[in-house]
Structure 1
């Protein structure tokens, strides 16, 4: 996995976790859902990079 892509995925996951936590603390369901979606996007990006790595070897 390229380091840059992996870093982007981790940043996206982290931002999502923060948004989800902030949404829960404030009772904002929309922010919580947005955070979960951002985490899922980061997870998908990370999975895509892992699949690319498998086929490189």
Structure 2
């Protein structure tokens, strides 16, 4: 029974909430930058208030 419970816990851990998926997609899309403030509610990302991006010309 413990194995099934552990498998269920692992599955829940690997399953992303749509808000988590959107955050990851956003991070992959910008590729470089700094998320200055990330608001979390009930364990889920809600809002990135400000995003700064540095551009290096070398």
What's the TM-score, normalizing by structure 1? 0.34
Select the structure of larger CA radius of gyration.
2
The normalised TM-score by structure 2 is 0.34
More helix by share: 1
More relative contact order, 1 or 2 (CA 8 Å, 6+ apart): 1
